[in-house]
Each structure stands twice: as structure tokens, then as C-alpha cells.
Amino acid sequence: MSVLPPLRLGVNVDHVATLRNARNGRAPDPVRAALLAIEAGADGITAHLREDRRHIRDDDMTRLKAEISKPLNFEMAATEDMLRIALATGPHAVCLVPERREELTTEGGLDVVGQQKALAPFITRLNDAGVRVSLFIAADPAQIEMAAKLRAPVIEIHTGAWCDAVVADDKAKAESEWQRIVSGAALAQSAGLEVHAGHGLDYVTAEKIAALPQIVELNIGYFMMGEAMFVGLTQTVLDMRAAMDRGRKTLRTYL
Ligand code: PXP
């Protein structure tokens, strides 16, 4: 029986800032949430600086970098402006995501195949600066192969379509999306990529995906912040960690 690599939990604090910005004040503070999540066992903090600054703002990123003791994963669109801010902030990792102002959240993966020329210099400059680059993509073979070709060390598989299908109880769609993730994770690992996953995960889907041995990090935000309103953030982190541990212990044949 092989030992599965540890699975890291990255907690996304964007929606603490969403709530703060609803009144344009100082509370609730995403940095306070990040510190509490780390104290409860999170392995890292993720935050997305969007072009429209709808939740996280520039000074949140600066404070996160200065105050947290675990890795900061800086999500951003591949623009010159964002690259400048990221390089000045010096996070552990940058996750490049697609971004359109009109979307509610990050709705699809990056089109690495279609945008290879535009993305390549961003990946190179982040690699050169010692920032670990991750590309947020669908578990599509062509996208995965291109991510490896462009020398991104990490991909984050977009789990949104699978999670939506699970929540909608659309069994056929959930199964086909799941199979796409299973084979995508295997392909990515064989191409030398480190594999992360995220978007829309809750206790049920986090437990299931934790059984995929190639995946070493989950980034989770929206569901956890919603749960935190009822049971507190500390308990939510503990419960999510327990769900991931249960999944990780389930020996599946996805190797
Ligand atoms: N990973 C990436 C790249 C994302 O863009 C997001 C959403 O900001 C997440 C993970 C977290 O998704 P959710 O908030 O749905 O858990």
C-alpha cells in the first residue's frame, strides 16, 4: 500500500473582504481571518487581487504577506499591472487565473493553449523571480500539456463544473467531470507538474478529491467562509481538514 503525499489546505479569504467592502469599513478583516485559519491548521492563504478590487485590495495583499507565517498564494490575471504588484509583494506563489469583470467568480479555466504567447513571458518572469507559478486550468489534456510546455511548475485544476454538478445532483455530469479530473491529475503528474485543485469545494467534494494521490493542495474559500458564519472559522478549518484526512485515507485505485 503506497503512502499518499500530504494534502495541503489553502484557505481563500476573498469573501471576508467581500463582506467588509459591503460597508466600506475595516471589519471583518481578511488578515485576521488568515491568521485564525493558520492557527487552526491551514497550510497557506490564498487571495485574489481582482482588477476591479471587488474584494481583496492592494493593502490586504501587503498585510497578508507581512503578517502571515504560512505561504501566500497570490491569484491574479496575467496583466502587467498585476505582475508589478505581485513582484513587489513577493508571495510564495502566483496562480494565474482568467478574469472578466462581468463574471461573479472565476468561471472557467485559463485558455493556456489559445494564449500561450501572451502567458509565456509572465511565467518566465515569475519563475525568474523565484515565485512558484500555478496555472488555473480545466482538466483538459491539451491545456495540461501546454502548461508543462510553458514550464509552469504547478497547475490548479478547476473543480467548479464538477462541484456544481454534485450540488445539483446531476449524476451523469458529475461522473463525467470527475473522470476528467481523475485522468487530468494523472496526466499532469506524468508531465512533471505539481497538481492543485480548487473552486466550489465543500466537505463532500473535498473528501472525495482528497483521495486522488496526485493532488497535493486544495484551495477553498466560499464554502468555508459561509460555514464559518455558523460554526466559526476555527471549527470550519478543523472540519475541512478532517474531511480531507478521511478522503486521503481512503485507498482508491486512481494511482
Ligand atoms: N482557486 C482559484 C484559482 C480560484 O479562483 C478560487 C476562487 O477565487 C478558488 C480556488 C476558491 O474557490 P471557492 O471560493 O469557490 O472555494
The reported pLDDT for the residue numbered 64 is 98
> pTM to 2 decimals?
0.95
Per-residue pLDDT reduced to its tens digit, 136-157: 999 999 999 999 999 999 999 9
- CB-based pocket (< 6 A), ligand 1: 12, 14, 48, 75, 95, 97, 105-106, 136, 156, 198-201, 219-223
pLDDT on residue 79: 96
Q: Hey, which of 154, 158, 205, 219 would you mutate to test ligand 1's pocket, going by the most ligand atoms within 8 Å of its Cβ? A: 219
Quote the pLDDT of residue 94. 98
> SS3 letters for the chain?
CCCCCCCEEEEECHHHHHHHHCCCCCCCCHHHHHHHHHHCCCCEEEEECCCCCCCCCHHHHHHHHHHCCCCEEEEECCCHHHHHHHHHHCCCEEEECCCCCCCCCCCCCCCCCCCHHHHHHHHHHHHHCCCEEEEEECCCHHHHHHHHHCCCCEEEEECHHHHHHHHCCCHHHHHHHHHHHHHHHHHHHHCCCEEEEECCCCHHHHHHHCCCCCEEEEEECHHHHHHHHHHCHHHHHHHHHHHHHHHHHCCCCCC
Domain ranges of the chain: 8-248
Confidence at residue 108, expressed as pLDDT on a 0 to 100 scale: 77
User: What CATH number has the domain spanning 8-248?
Assistant: 3.20.20.70
**Per-residue model confidence as pLDDT tens digits over 49-65:** 999 999 999 999 999 99
* List of the chain residues with pLDDT < 50: 1
Ligand 1 centroid–CA 156 distance in Å is 10
